[in-house]
């Protein structure tokens, strides 16, 4: 039986001294996020202790003692069990004079450990600097967990420039337009088809929890059980949904109900998507296909930069998605709202996106590069659409359809394999 526990470690990065240029970091109590699982005290203490030591060993950083931060929480009436929201963490950070709050999660499944963390800028409230490490428990010695803590702190703190005390994040661009925000550090490539060009965003191999994770709220039954998925190879995914302009350039027709070259193509079925990928591959000499459901969700969650939002890029749906309440009954041009952590747009809302694999039930054990169900006629659609409620646009929400089904809310996004 798979055993899972999650522990939330909250780190507060405080204002540095101009003379010493030191960032101070404080670790709070480690919490068990799954009350049905008995977490070992040694594992709880180990994460706190190892992260504290690892961060203290970074140049320009100093860790608070647990006593210091416990006293601060006591003075302001905070209880460890209540420190579960970013707004609460931000408030405590403001009271402590912090520059950043760092939220870190430890997950254990069988003999595997997963460490994830991100920073919250106390001044702006922006979330940035996601970091992820995962590995095996070796011979019950916890030696690998020690190393994971060190690796995580190096990856996380490595984003912060101690000389200015700020980190790389979403950077607003003047003029707005399709690219209202850009994401630093994202690797993209541009591909040309005749006079039409499109961008693909690199998604690095890694691991994530797929399905009904806690931030998703009330989930449908087919989103359970949530489970660990390993994506073993890098891939590129469309920065935007396939547009009417690109579809017509490749296929010579535009099946969409609302004709506008800068909007996603819609009214396409799974078979149409296969034909498009075959023809695009022939025209470019590259290999394109639909994303698997796991690849789609991994990219929607930001790949290894996952910050655990309800929708792709934010827990405020209006920031990232065209859905029932703001779409005015139709799809919208691509890239007008905010992207997710990887710089990918419209993965929540606008149009449903076909996936490569057949629709089926989830399993609880860890999966590596899952390819979907081996039988059945229905294929997966993900992301919600302009006509759906907010609940239907959640990252984990699933839909399915026959390969011949066409609707004015069905579109797709492509993956480049090589």
Residues 188 and 284 reside in one and the same domain: yes
E-assigned strands of 174-308?
181-183, 188-193, 196-203, 206-210, 227-231, 235-238, 288-289
Whether residue 174 is contained in a domain is answered as no
Residues 6+ apart with CB under 8 A from 297: 208, 210, 229, 382, 395, 396
If one counts the domains in the chain, the total is: 2
On whether both 209 and 160 belong to a single domain, the answer is: no
* Spatial CB neighbours of 314, under 8 Å, sequence gap ≥ 6: 320, 338
- Is the residue at 227 inside a domain? yes
Tokens found for residue 406: 């066409």
CATH number at residue 153: 3.40.50.10610
Q: What's the whole-number mean pLDDT along residues 36-49?
A: 64
E strands, 245-378, are 288-289, 352-358, 367-368
Could you tell me if residue 391 is inside a domain?
yes
Q: Greater confidence, 314 or 114?
A: 314
- CATH assignment of the domain containing 224: 3.90.1580.10
Q: 198-256, pLDDT tens digit by residue?
A: 999 999 999 999 999 989 999 999 999 999 999 999 999 999 999 999 999 999 999 99
Domain boundary among 167, 192, 218: 167
47 in a domain, yes or no? yes
Instruction: Specify whether 160 is located in the same domain as 210.
Output: no
Q: Is the pTM of this model over 0.75?
A: no
Candidate ranges 37-51, 156-170, 218-232, 298-312; pick with highest mean pLDDT: 218-232
Domain check: are 163 and 67 in the same one? yes
Residue 2 has pLDDT above 70, yes or no: no
pLDDT digits (tens, 9 = 90+) for 117-156: 666 666 666 655 566 666 665 555 566 667 777 777 766 6
Is residue 303 domain-shared with residue 204, that is, in the same domain?
A: yes
Max Cα–Cα distance, the chain, nearest Å: 68
Provide the H-helix boundaries in 118-261.
Answer: 143-157, 244-251
Query: For 381, phi and psi rounded to 5 degrees?
Result: -125, 145
Of 383, 379, 369, 370, nearest to 413 by C-alpha is 383
**What DSSP letter does each residue of 276-293 carry, written as one string?**
HHHHHHHHHSS-EEPPPH
Q: How confident is the model at residue 26 (pLDDT cuts 50, 70, 90)?
A: low
Residues 208 and 340 placed together within one structural domain of the fold: yes
Q: How far is CA 172 from CA 14, 77, 169, 177, 418, in A?
A: 25, 36, 10, 11, 32
DSSP 142: -
> Which pLDDT does position 417 carry in this prediction?
86
pLDDT, mean of residues 294-322: 91
Q: CB under 8 Å to 273, separation ≥6 — which residues?
A: 290, 354, 412
Q: Is residue 323 located within the same domain as residue 233?
A: yes
Q: What CA–CA distance (Å, rounded) separates 158 from 167? A: 9
| Cis before 104? omega within 30 | no
Residue 173 is assigned to a structural domain of this protein? no
Indicate whether 172 belongs to any domain: no
- Mean pLDDT comparison of 11-15, 60-64, 182-186, 391-395, highest-scoring range: 391-395
Q: What does the pLDDT read at residue 173?
A: 30
Write the secondary structure of 39-85 as one string of H (helix), E (strand) and C (coil): CCHHHHHHHHHHHHHHHHCCCCEEECCHHHHHHHHHHCCCCHHHCCC
pLDDT tens track for 338-373? 999 999 999 999 999 999 999 999 998 899 999 999
Does 188 lie in the same domain as 133?
no
Q: Which of 167, 190, 206 is the last residue of a domain?
A: 167
Considering 167, 197, 215, which residue would you say is the last residue of a domain? Answer: 167
Cα(110)–Cα(402) distance, rounded to whole angstroms? 37
Let me know whether 234 and 360 are in one domain: yes
**How many helices and strands, by DSSP H and E, does the chain display?**
8, 23
Any domain includes 11: yes
Alpha helices by DSSP H, 76-189:
86-96, 143-157
- Please indicate, yes or no, if residue 343 is contained in any of the structural domains: yes
Kindly state the tokens that stand for 135: 């590995």
- Given a contact cutoff of 8 angstroms between Cβ atoms, the answer to whether 163 and 201 are in contact is no
Q: For residues 190 and 163, state if they share a domain.
A: no
Let me know whether 88 and 221 are in one domain: no
What's the domain range around 402? Answer: 181-416
277 and 410 both lie in a single domain: yes
What are 197's strand-pairing partners?
A: 192
Confidence (pLDDT) at 304? 74
Across the chain, mean pLDDT equals: 77
């Amino acid at each position: 039986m798979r055993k899972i526990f999650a522990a939330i470690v909250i780190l507060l990065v405080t204002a540095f001294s101009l003379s010493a240029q030191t960032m101070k970091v404080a670790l709070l109590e480690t919490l068990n996020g799954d009350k049905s699982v008995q977490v070992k005290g040694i594992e709880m203490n180990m994460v706190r202790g190892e992260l504290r030591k690892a961060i203290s060993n970074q140049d320009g950083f100093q860790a608070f003692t647990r006593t210091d931060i416990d006293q601060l929480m006591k003075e302001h009436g905070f209880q460890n069990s209540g420190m579960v929201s970013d707004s609460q963490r931000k408030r405590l950070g403001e009271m402590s004079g912090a520059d950043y709050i760092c939220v870190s999660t430890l997950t254990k499944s069988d003999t595997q450990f997963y460490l994830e963390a991100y920073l919250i800028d106390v001044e702006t409230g922006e979330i940035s600097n996601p970091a992820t490490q995962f590995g095996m428990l070796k011979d019950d010695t916890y030696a690998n967990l020690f190393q994971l803590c060190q690796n995580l702190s190096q990856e996380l703190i490595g984003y912060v420039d101690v000389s200015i005390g700020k980190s790389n994040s979403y950077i607003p661009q003047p003029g707005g337009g399709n690219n209202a925000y850009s994401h630093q550090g994202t690797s993209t490539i541009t591909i040309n088809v005749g006079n039409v060009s499109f961008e693909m965003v690199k998604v690095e191999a890694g691991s994530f929890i797929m399905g009904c994770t806690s931030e998703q709220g009330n989930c449908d039954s087919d989103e359970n059980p949530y489970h660990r998925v390993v994506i073993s190879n890098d891939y590129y995914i469309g920065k935007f949904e396939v547009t009417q302009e690109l579809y017509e350039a490749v296929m010579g027709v535009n099946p969409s109900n609302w004709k506008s070259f800068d909007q996603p193509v819609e009214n396409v079925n799974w078979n149409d998507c296969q034909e498009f990928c075959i023809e695009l591959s022939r025209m470019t000499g590259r290999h394109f296909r639909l994303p698997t459901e796991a690849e789609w969700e991994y990219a929607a969650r930001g790949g290894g930069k996952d910050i655990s939002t309800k929708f792709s890029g934010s827990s405020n749906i209006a920031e990232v998605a065209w859905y029932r309440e703001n779409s005015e009954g139709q799809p919208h041009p691509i890239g007008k709202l905010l992207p997710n952590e990887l710089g990918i747009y419209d993965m929540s809302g606008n149009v449903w996106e076909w996936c490569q694999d057949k629709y089926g039930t989830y399993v609880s054990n860890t999966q590596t590069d899952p390819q979907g169900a081996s039988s059945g006629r229905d294929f997966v659609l993900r992301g919600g659409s302009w006509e759906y409620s907010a609940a239907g646009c959640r990252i984990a929400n699933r839909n399915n359809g026959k390969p011949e089904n066409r609707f004015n809310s069905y579109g797709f996004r492509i993956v480049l394999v090589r």
